[in-house]
Amino acid sequence: MRILLVEDSARVAEAVGGGLRGRGHAVFVAGGVRAADDAFASQHFDVAVVDIGLPDGSGLDWCRSVRSAGSEIPILLLTARSDVPDRVAGLDAGADDYLGKPFSLDELAARLRALARRGPRWTESTRRFGPVAVDRDRRIVTVDGAPLALTPRELEILALLAWRDGRVVARDDILEAVWGDASEGAAASLEVLVARIRRKLAEHGVRDALRTVRHVGYAWALERSKHA
């Protein structure tokens, strides 16, 4: 996973960042709201870990700003405060999870894996890409109104890529989100399912919907329809 860690304490950032990197994740540390904004605007992250108390603003305000801009990135808030009103405030600000300090790195890593598997929030029921429509609530994909016969995992892969608006999704991140692990068996299955998705779309006249980025992952290549 690519993780944005927004934490002003150098000691905490070093401990948390180092622990997550040791578990195979890429971690970018931002020391405050402005640094987080700059990083978020220029890079893609799979999840954000945000301290509430920051030197140039509040993590709650940053969370609200990100949500108001339409971002669906999973957000986990960190805070020394652990009473119920603060937890409610964090969730009301748009956070997906909440962890009070002190915490164990194992618990943090487990929660982040759960958020990654859940993927981005589906804030819209349906997205359209020309003739292709992905309906979240009904869990179907249609091409010119005709249902595309997808297995549950094929649907999860297609929807995950479609909701990233053309950004490349690393293979390991897809495996974590859809299978819950990055084993060799899951990796082999991913290649087979991507090929099947491409074939099924091509049978409906839709080609080049999935772009392969060699040694990295996959991206959704269809342009999102306006007013969709």
Helix (H) or strand (E) holding 207: none
Give the distance, in angstroms, between the CA of residue 51 and the centroid of all CA atoms in the same chain: 19
Indicate the pTM of the whole model.
0.56
Assess if residue 133 is contained within a domain.
yes
CATH number of the domain within which 196 lies: 1.10.10.10
Residues facing 134 on adjacent strands: 127, 141
Q: Which of 100, 118, 136 is the last residue of a domain?
A: 118
Sign of the alpha-carbon torsion through 171, 186, 116, 109: negative
Residues 6+ apart with CB under 8 A from 7: 13, 16, 29, 30, 31, 49, 50, 51, 78
Q: What is the DSSP letter of 141?
A: E
Q: Which two tokens stand for residue 192?
A: 């087979």
CA distance 6 to 13: 8
- pLDDT in tens for each of the 228 residues of the chain? 889 999 999 999 999 999 999 998 889 999 999 999 888 877 778 899 999 889 999 999 999 888 877 677 889 988 776 566 766 777 788 888 888 888 889 999 988 988 877 665 555 568 899 999 998 667 789 999 999 998 888 988 998 898 877 888 888 888 877 887 777 778 888 999 999 999 999 999 999 999 999 889 999 999 988 654
CB 213 within 8 A of CB 219: yes
Residue with tokens 């779309």: 201
Q: What is the count of structural domains for the chain?
A: 2
Give the distance, in angstroms, between the CA of residue 215 and the centroid of all CA atoms in the same chain: 20
Give the distance, in angstroms, between the CA of residue 69 and the centroid of all CA atoms in the same chain: 16
Q: Which of 72, 98, 118 is the last residue of a domain?
A: 118
181, 137: one domain: yes
Assess if residue 227 is contained within a domain.
no
Q: Domain range for residue 22? A: 2-118
Q: Which two tokens stand for residue 104?
A: 């164990």
Amino acid sitting at position 117? R
> Cα torsion for 135, 141, 143, 147, to the nearest 10°?
-110
CA distance 15 to 7: 11
